[in-house]
Amino acid sequence: MTAADALLRLRALNPDRPVEVLVRYADAFAQYHEAADNLARNGIITAHPRTGAPLENPYLKVRNAASEILATIKLNTEGMWP
């Protein structure tokens, strides 16, 4: 689900909430899922693109930062999470 799709769903579920809050949640929601997909495909430890040395997948930090934002915003998200 893209951030735009998430925003449409959040607006329908939370018509009384400020749009800035919904946008922030939708952006973090999309970032979380993109990062989670990357981690599922490539793992937490991945190879450096130039040297091949093992390193922590940068998407781990993206997922964790998005998760923190999502946890602080209380919204109705019915049907958005599996």
Which 3-state string (H, E, C) describes the chain? CCHHHHHHHHHHHCCCCCHHHHHHHHHHHHHHHHHHHHHHHHCCEEECCCCCCEEECCHHHHHHHHHHHHHHCCCCCCCCCC
pLDDT band at 32 (very low <50, low <70, confident <90, very high): very high
What's the pTM? 0.91
What confidence score (pLDDT) does residue 82 get?
Answer: 84
* Distance between CA atoms of residues 18 and 58, nearest Å: 32
**Residue 18, pLDDT above cutoff 90:** yes
If you average pLDDT over residues 1-11, what whole number do you get? 97
